[in-house]
A = this chain, B = another copy of it.
């Protein structure tokens, strides 16, 4: 068995560069598969939270390569791959839908693995923090990067945009609806852009770090709320003259975020959550928040979207200049060994952080 280097979670809050990550041999590559050489990675709160839990919810991830945000260059393609060729610049899907599954037939392709975790197609193999990343269905789960789109723009698509845009799309907004985005890390910030592109009128953005709040305003939030300054429900209702909001998106935050969102939400409205709930703490809903059951409120737990079609449509918005996700990049690193530094920004809650990228070697625009 051939091996390669990769960044692995090896214990609680511990990332490590190991050299025993699986590297499939040429004959193991299925006819629809491909190998991608990473050019740029990003790290994510999820990486940090997974490590913080020591992979408690997903023990099979331990000691395997981590990582689910990567763009790179195709270096090998299987015999049946028709739409990608060696040398193509590509986005690699974070979730790896199995398009040949019953869940895909039923419209839930992104739920098509029982061992689902972002970007980990094979739990026995690992994620994309490796030298050469193997995917099984290139035609379905890669997307080409248009010439006028940079690597720094493209790397924001597979998780940040796909998660945020899936969340906002699930809100079924009408023109002029208001929305509260609770949590404005990079997913929340992309959700602000997504909400503008759904015709939202008022966009309430709730966050803590100044760097995020500033970018929220630049991205089009009409009201930016600092949760340090008091109860967020009260703050938003003060802005709105007491009117509840039409839709809510929860993007991370404390355990009572979802309940707060429901309190803010109009009767008949929809709340979507793209948060992860690793800590083992139950999600609590107060009966009053859902009108004792009478409120016609809807809650959706939304997974990051996946697949080539969706990535193509989102990268088209970037190519047309409708979304500028690269503005979120606050930190740049160089070389696989620096991935750990990138993840640690999340672990230590660096106040200047929105989103880090790591180039595989030297920077390429």
Chain copies in complex: 4
Residue A60 interfacial (CB < 8 Å): no
Residue A107 interfacial (CB < 8 Å): yes
When distances are taken between beta carbons in the complex, the residues of chain B under 8 Å from A294 are 116, 276, 301, 303-304
Residue A25 interfacial (CB < 8 Å): no
Pick from A227-235, A311-319, A324-332 the stretch touching chain B.
A311-319
When C-beta atoms are compared, the residue in chain B nearest to A298 turns out to be B300
Q: CB < 8 Å: which of B111, B283, B293 contacts A295?
A: B111
Q: CB < 8 Å: which of B202, B295, B320 contacts A316?
A: B202
Cα of A215 to Cα of B237 in the assembled complex, Å: 38
When C-beta atoms are compared, the residue in chain B nearest to A116 turns out to be B294
Q: How far is the CB of A167 from chain B (nearest CB, A)?
A: 11
Cα of A4 to Cα of B41 in the assembled complex, Å: 54
Contacts A99-B99, A103-B268, A268-B108: A299 and B302 contacting too (C-beta < 8 A)? no
Residue A1 interfacial (CB < 8 Å): no
**A254-268 Cβ-contact flags toward B at 8 Å (1 or 0):** 000000000000011
B165 & A100 in contact (Cβ 8 Å cutoff): no
A301 & B309 in contact (Cβ 8 Å cutoff): no
Residue A19 interfacial (CB < 8 Å): no
Q: How far is the CB of A80 from chain B (nearest CB, A)?
A: 9
B103 & A317 in contact (Cβ 8 Å cutoff): no
Contacts A104-B104, A199-B322, A201-B322: A293 and B287 contacting too (C-beta < 8 A)? no
Q: How far is the CB of A178 from chain B (nearest CB, A)?
A: 9
- Give A residues with C-beta under 8 Å from B: 31-32, 57, 99-100, 102-111, 116, 137, 139-140, 165, 169, 174-177, 194, 196-199, 201-202, 222, 267-268, 273-288, 290-304, 307-310, 312-314, 316-317, 319-320, 322
